[in-house]
Chains A and B, each alone.
Chain A
Amino acid sequence: GAGVSQSPSNKVTEKGKDVELRCDPISGHTALYWYRQRLGQGLEFLIYFQGNSAPDKSGLPSDRFSAERTGESVSTLTIQRTQQEDSAVYLCASSLRNLKLSGANVLTFGAGSRLTVL
């Protein structure tokens, strides 16, 4: 596709339920990032995938959070046993190559998935 596509755009769930958020990166982009944006706050790094390398999971806030990516395509962020503090916009971004090689000018964000945990 022309841009990074995320679904669902909005998700309302009850505390304790599991949720899955999906990201379709730009075709051919090898690097994929998940960020979390809480209301009135900056973007918080969650996880980074680069090709077939082991993902950088250093930003995942707890073991309730996990993410997968199949090759260089779709990624799914899963939040188990959701809590109210998980309410946020979850942003996915992709870039053609490793940011250190290509510069951040090719990091393209999706519109995000807004998660509300009641």
Chain B
Amino acid sequence: QQQVKQSPQSLIVQKGGISIINCAYENTAFDYFPWYQQFPGKGPALLIAIRPDVSEKKEGRFTISFNKSAKQFSLHIMDSQPGDSATYFCAALGGGGNKLTFGTGTQLKVEL
């Protein structure tokens, strides 16, 4: 059972544009939602995270928008750069467990 659904699977954005990746979850007990960035040959690294008591969190060019009623959250990358080209994973933690449940990932390519 896929508890965290992520879309799109792949995304191509022009340099300077906005990249948007969406995730939806089912388990209302989830209470922590991180995004991870993974470059080829490397392990995932935490990018930004949010708790459900806020609707938005911004760190530099990266923003998480959170909609608790819809059980959805999204990552926005403003002014996308070629160096942002990577795979992005959303994840969720909670429900009494100690493990992160990951989405299926989005391959982002930022073109010049």
B is bound to A = yes
Contact between A105 and B34 (Cβ–Cβ < 8 Å)? yes
Closest to A3 in B: B43
Known: A41-B105, A56-B99, A98-B98. A103 touches B32 (CB 8 A): yes
Q: Number of A interface residues, CB 8 Å?
A: 28
A110 contacts B43, C-beta separation under 8 Å: yes
Asked if residues B98 and A31 are in contact (CB atoms below 8 Å), the reply is: yes
| A65 CB–B CB distance under 8 Å | no
Chain A residue at minimal CB-CB distance from B4: A42
Which residue on B lies nearest to A103, using beta carbons?
B32
Write out, one digit per residue, whether chain B residues 89-104 have a CB within 8 A of any chain A CB (1) or not (0).
1010110001111111
Is A96 part of the contact surface with B, judged by Cβ < 8 Å? no
- Chain A, range 60-118, C-beta contacts under 8 Å to B: 91, 93, 98-100, 103-105, 107-112
- Which of B's residues lie within 8 Å of A, judged by CB? 4, 6, 9, 32, 34, 41-46, 49, 89, 91, 93-94, 98-105
A–B complex contacts, Cβ < 8 Å, 30 sampled: A31-B98, A40-B105, A42-B4, A42-B6, A42-B105, A43-B91, A43-B100, A43-B102, A44-B102, A45-B101, A56-B98, A56-B99, A59-B99, A93-B43, A99-B93, A99-B99, A100-B94, A103-B32, A103-B49, A104-B32, A104-B34, A104-B46, A104-B49, A104-B93, A104-B100, A105-B34, A105-B46, A107-B46, A109-B43, A109-B44
Beyond the given pairs A93-B43, A105-B46, 12 more chain A to chain B contacts, judged by CB atoms under 8 angstroms and listed by A's residue number, are A40-B105, A42-B4, A43-B44, A45-B99, A56-B98, A59-B99, A99-B98, A100-B93, A108-B43, A109-B45, A111-B41, A111-B42
